A = this chain, B = another copy of it.
């Protein structure tokens, strides 16, 4: 019996989902040792190569780290899906509060340029959500998201002040976000942006425009973000 076990999935993928679940459940925490290759092979009744295949895939995704002679361990928490490493956000993940305030949340239409980026008809209705991210004392980022209104009924009235828009989409609308095409540049803060971010007009800000795609390669969200330059840098690892 080569490819499928008891359901329609390859064995190595079943093993991967099993491990991923143990991580999202909190049963396994970063740094914890995952079962060894031989142990996994025994547990799931597969050969060693298959267990290895499963772990290799998880390693490539950054879910686990493998150390020769030592074992396989849950990788440290990943940089969140779409975002920057900012001092503020790093602080936030260490306990300090970083909240976001919804400035606008409404339906608009006739934004043909944005509709084009989402690959939908120019006259389509769009949900526009504008959020200011801030710590207790100062703002550090302004993010504006656009989504096709017909695909996300009721989203404009949901509470987005806390928690991530992305997790809301994945939980309530069963959308799987897989990748984003981003365009990063530097601009001078114009009036409105400068005011909201509390920086002088003309101050350098990072602008990131993203089109985020779902699992079937359909564009789902268009995001424009402005980030205070002194507080943000973007880390990328680029290959070859």
Contact = CB atoms under 8 A, between A and B. Distances in A.
B206 A185 contact: yes
B62 A239 contact: yes
Given A204-B205, A205-B204, A239 B186 contact: no
A234 B78 CA distance: 21
B60 A179 contact: no
A182 B46 CA distance: 40
Given A60-B60, A185-B206, A78 B236 contact: no
A206 B229 CA distance: 10
A205 B186 contact: yes
A233 B186 CA distance: 8
Contact of A184 (B49, B178, B202, B234): B234
A192 B69 CA distance: 51
Nearest to A83: B238
A125 interface: no
Contact of A179 (B185, B229, B239): B239
Given A185-B229, A186-B186, A204-B204, A179 B236 contact: no
Interface of A: 49, 60-63, 78, 81-82, 177-188, 202-206, 227, 229, 232-240
27 contacts: A61-B240, A62-B239, A82-B238, A177-B240, A178-B240, A179-B240, A180-B237, A180-B238, A181-B235, A181-B236, A181-B237, A183-B233, A184-B184, A184-B206, A184-B233, A184-B235, A185-B206, A185-B229, A186-B186, A186-B187, A186-B205, A186-B227, A188-B203, A188-B204, A188-B229, A202-B202, A204-B205
